Amino acid sequence: MILRLRPGLAEERVQELRERLEAEGLRTARSPETARPVIAVLDRVPAALAAELEREPAVEEVVESPGVWRRVHRAFREGLSVVPVGGVNVGGGEVVVIAGPCSVEGAGAIREAAWRVREAGAQLLRGGAFKPRTSPYSFQGFGVEGLRQLKEAAEETGLPVVTEILDAAHLPAFLDQEVDCLQIGARNMQNFTLLKAVATAGRPVLLKRGLAATVDEWLSAAEYLAAYGCPQIILCERGIRTFETATRNTLDLTVLPLLREWTHLPVIVDPSHAAGIARLIPPLARAAVAAGADGVAVEVHPHPSEARSDGPQALLPGELTALVAEARVQAAVTGRSFHPPPRAGAARQPARRL
């Protein structure tokens, strides 16, 4: 249950109400906003108390969450959340493009890819150093060395980075390399131990939707991050498994208007892992931004036939340039802005410790 209190309600009254709820054995969370206080009741409210709260003069509106998620519920905040990633805002009326190779494939390769991404006009660099591969015989990523290579490329180009973490034990290395945004991949969306550990890192988190996760399960995973200390969460729809086998996954754009109602978190779309086929990606990216996505994440490789993972879905740099131009148009059509990437050569904005 989420209690939206009367705007401007005195702080003592807010505290009194929280104490009353906690005296009933209910845990509560307070929205960070002060102008319009909101209290989320984290435990199930007994019916008699719920009826009382409906009549409570301090309470303007009682909102029931469709799930266990409350901190990430739309009603918990006044507006929509904006997540700054190394100085690039995700959400809040801006459209971003995250681009880069599937894997970090060496210092020279990621450097070249990062420059192509920057020249194409994308604002954030992606690339996996730790790869969750279906086959144990496939390239697993260069690990910590890959993180170093990614950081070098990021510093040179000025692009903040988003990269996947597979194991909580690797967190110190990610922090050492000043990774701007930690990605939780589809396969780990419900790895609750990892979610709890990553939530304490003081970094923004990109939470991909699980391969077969409902929106409710996805938001429950986001609630884990919020509950364990990370309010800076970006959701990423990347296709779900359906009966269809012609494409790698099925892109579920239905979630975009639905999540706008259910959560205040920014939502981006990864059409690359959804389609799995490069030529299908540009129209899906257009559709995603047109339907309200706060951005897209796409895989790009200067030499797709040499890619060590996901080559068939890698866009060429020239195709990325066209995709970025279209995202800019779609942003304008939907009343949002599109900014150029951060200045090259400038020191990256330090990742914010929260």
Which residues are at the interface with Mn ion (CB under 5 A)? 102, 310
Give me the residues paired with residue 30 across strands.
Answer: 39
Q: For ligand PEP, what does the binding mask look like between residues 143 and 182, x meaning CB under 6 A?
A: ---------------------x------------------
By a kind-dependent CB cut-off of 5 to 8 A, residue 116 interacts, out of ligand PEP, Mn ion, none, with: none
The answer to whether residue 275 forms part of the interface with ligand PEP (CB under 6 A) is: no
C-alpha span between 213 and 219 (Å, rounded): 10
By CB under 6 A, tell whether 185 contacts ligand PEP: yes
248 is a contact residue toward ligand PEP (CB under 6 A): no
Residue 234 DSSP one-character state: E
Of the pair 102, 289, the CB lying nearest Mn ion is at 102
Whole-angstrom Cα Rg for the chain: 21
Tell me the number of residues near ligand PEP by CB under 6 A: 11
Q: Which residue is nearest to ligand PEP (CB)?
A: 185
Binding mask 281-320 for ligand PEP (x = CB under 6 A): ----------------------------------------
Q: Give yes or no for residue 186 binding ligand PEP (CB under 6 A).
A: yes
Site mask for ligand PEP (CB under 6 A), range 95-134, x = bound? -------x-------------------------x---x--
Stretch of 10-18, 135-143, 171-179, 183-191 lying at the interface with ligand PEP (CB under 6 A):
183-191
How many other C-beta atoms are found inside a 10 Å radius of the C-beta of residue 55?
Answer: 7
Phi/psi for 250 (5° steps) reads -115, 120
Q: Name residues whose C-beta falls within 8 Å of residue 51's C-beta, 6 or more positions apart in sequence.
A: none
Residues 87, 18: Cα–Cα separation, whole Å? 35
Residue 238, contacted partner among ligand PEP, Mn ion, none, CB below 5-8 A by kind: ligand PEP
Q: Under the phi-then-psi rule, with left for phi > 0, alpha for psi from -120 to 50, and beta for the rest, what region is 104? A: beta
69: left (phi over 0), alpha (psi -120 to 50) or beta: beta
Q: Is 208 a binder of ligand PEP (CB under 6 A)?
A: yes
Q: Which does 185 bind (CB under 5 to 8 A by kind): Mn ion, ligand PEP, none?
A: ligand PEP
- C-beta closer to Mn ion: residue 223 or 310: 310
How many residues are given for the chain?
A: 354
CB-based contacts of 171, cutoff 8 Å, min separation 6: 165, 197, 198, 201
Closest approach, Cβ 120 to Mn ion, in A, equals 18
The one of Mn ion, ligand PEP, none whose footprint includes residue 93, by CB under 5 to 8 A per kind, is: none
Cβ–Cβ under 8 Å, residues 58 and 17: yes
- 190 is written with which tokens? 């419900």
Among 71, 203, 273, 301, binds ligand PEP (CB under 6 A): 273
Q: Which residue is nearest to Mn ion (CB)?
A: 102
Closest separation in Å from C-beta 314 to Mn ion: 9
Catalogue the E-assigned strands of the chain: 2-5, 28-30, 38-41, 59-63, 83-85, 88-90, 96-100, 124-126, 161-164, 181-184, 205-208, 233-237, 267-269, 295-299
Stretch of 46-54, 64-72, 184-192, 325-333 lying at the interface with ligand PEP (CB under 6 A): 184-192
* Tokens found for residue 61: 């509106």
Exposed, middle or buried, 1 (CB in 10 Å: 0-12/13-18/19+)?
A: buried
**Which residues contact ligand PEP (rule: CB under 6 A)?**
102, 128, 132, 164, 185-187, 208, 238, 270, 273
